[in-house]
Amino acid sequence: MAVKDNNDIADQPCRRCKNNPSVLVVRTEPLCRECFVRYVNTKIIKRMESFRVRHAAPGQQRKILLPLSFGVSSLVLLHVLDFQLKTQSEKSGRTGFSLCVVYIDASTVDSSAPDAAMLQHVQERYPHDYATVPLQTLFELLPLDDPLLISLCAPDLPSTATSSDRISSLLSSLTSSTARADVLPMLRTRLLVEEAKQRGCEGILWGDSTTKLAEKTLSETAKGRGYSLPWHIADGESPLGIPFHYPNRDVLKKELVAYIDLADPPLSSLVHGPSAASTTTSMSSKTTTIDELMKNYFESVEENFPSIVANVVRTAGKLQVKETRRTAAQCNLCNMPVTDGRFGIHGWGGDQEDGLQSAGPSSGLCYGCSRTIPNGLR
């Protein structure tokens, strides 16, 4: 990965401590292992400013939910926050927050999902609250009148159908891998939000790196959800009624990958699946998704143009939702606020079929979700 990829610079000693030999080049700076670890730690902890000890009322523990996927980003986040909590307790005898680590087990619909037993190892290393929640639990947690729940009650499913049946039926009804890759994370997010609320957490700490946020920017644009971009990458209140935080937002994906091996002890044994080098999927493959396309794209841009990656996120962050529009009706699937009732794929300049009303407003799906589920939720 990023380790020693530029020989000219990398042969120099670490530019920060000027002492140790450098082990990798970070945005043109050769750094040693210690300085690199400190660099990543600082970038992440800086983003946790509002959770410092001094902001916590004594005797009242602030809880935040950390979704763990066993991927590089969420593991590094857990590792760094664990370090931050230890430092807080050493310095002040208490901590500014506590973590609820939640793993969403999607094994009923995703055969490549990590084994829930992996949690054991993580738990041993980082003592916090842990929970494994099966993805289908979503259908038990949602309020009965939730539009998603109502629309997901497929008429052809018997009333005795379990929540696993329901989720399998939903995902198998999606005709493309792009659609499946689109819907699965939305369900996961939705479930995490419900979990956070149930567990009394005041926010969710997502592991998204700069690179991931840039990917999201372009892939949501490509999926026709440009209208909702401000909600996808901003820290703070989300349309789902709970604040989202992205502490890894200033760290590149390749830096998180490098961190896995350079942390002491390394985190590699805890990572699930293809950790390091990007899984370069064939572009022509029918199973390629829009999300993968953007992932590959930004992994290549990140190599030589890290600042451009960061600039994409910064640019998208400048888009703003008007105050008056924040109360707009939400999409039943992705929950993003849709202004002016612009649901469905019809009724705009690019729609050439005048007066056609199929999966229009009644479906309650936004433009992007209508592309993913062309026939509307059942």
Partner 1 sequence: MPPKAPTLCAICKTNRALILRPKDHSKLCKPCFITVFETEIHHTITSNSLFHRGEKIAIGASGGKDSTVLASVLKTLNERYDYGLELVLLSIDEGIKGYRDDSLETVKRNAKQYDMPLTILGYEELYGWTMDQVVEQVGKKGNCTYCGVFRRQALDRGAARLGVRHVVTGHNADDVAETVLMNLLRGDLPRLSRSTSIVTSTPAAASGDLKSHTNIKRSKPLKYAYEKEIVLYAHHKNLDYFSTECIYSPEAFRGSARALIKNLERVRPSAILDVVRSGEDMAKLVPGNDDDRSCGGACSSNVPAAEEEEGGCGSANGRTAGGEMAHMERHLAQNEAAAENELEVEITIPKPKKAGNKKPKANGMAPQKPNKQQVLGQCKICGYISSQEVCKACVLLEGLNKSQPKNRIEVVYDEKENQVLDGATNGMAKAALGPG
Of 40, 113, 312, 373, which one interacts with partner 1 (CB under 8 A)?
312
Query: 202-240 as b/e, with b when 16 or more CB fall inside 10 Å?
Result: ebbbbbbbbbbbbbbbbbbbebbbebbbebbbbbeebbb
Side-chain half-sphere of 124: how many Cα atoms within 13 Å? 7
CA distance 91 to 241: 34
Q: Which helix (H) or strand (E) holds 91?
A: helix 72-92
* CA triple 314-325-345, angle to 5 deg: 85
Site string for partner 1, 61-90 (x = CB under 8 A): ------------------------------
Of 98, 163, 288, 358, which one interacts with partner 1 (CB under 8 A)?
288
The answer to whether 152 and 170 are in contact (CB under 8 A) is: yes
Picking from 172, 146, 145, the residue whose alpha carbon sits closest to that of residue 157 is: 172
Of 13, 71, 185, 317, which one interacts with partner 1 (CB under 8 A)?
317
Taken in order 190, 195, 198, 199, the sign of the CA dihedral is: negative
Token pair 């939305």 in the structure block, residue: 186
- Comparing CB distances to partner 1, the nearer of 264 and 354 is 354
Pick the piece of the chain touching partner 1 (CB under 8 A) from 52-60, 129-137, 194-202, 306-314. Answer: 306-314
Residues 337-376 that bind partner 1 (CB under 8 A): 339-340, 342, 348-350, 352, 354, 367-368, 371
* CA triple 181-71-20, angle to 5 deg: 140
Q: Is 236 in the site for partner 1 (CB under 8 A)?
A: no
- Comparing CB distances to partner 1, the nearer of 71 and 224 is 224
Pick the piece of the chain touching partner 1 (CB under 8 A) from 53-61, 73-81, 103-111, 223-231. Answer: 223-231
Where do the H-state alpha helices sit in 112-152? Answer: 118-125, 138-141, 147-152
Pick the piece of the chain touching partner 1 (CB under 8 A) from 92-100, 111-119, 186-194, 305-313. Answer: 305-313
Where do the H-state alpha helices sit in 177-284? Answer: 177-198, 210-222, 229-233, 253-262
Q: Is 184 in the site for partner 1 (CB under 8 A)?
A: no
Min dist. Cβ of residue 152 to partner 1 (A): 23
Min dist. Cβ of residue 284 to partner 1 (A): 7
Residues of this chain that interact with partner 1 (CB under 8 A) are 27-28, 176, 178, 217-218, 220-227, 229-230, 283-284, 288-290, 293, 297, 301, 304-308, 310-312, 314-325, 339-340, 342, 348-350, 352, 354, 367-368, 371
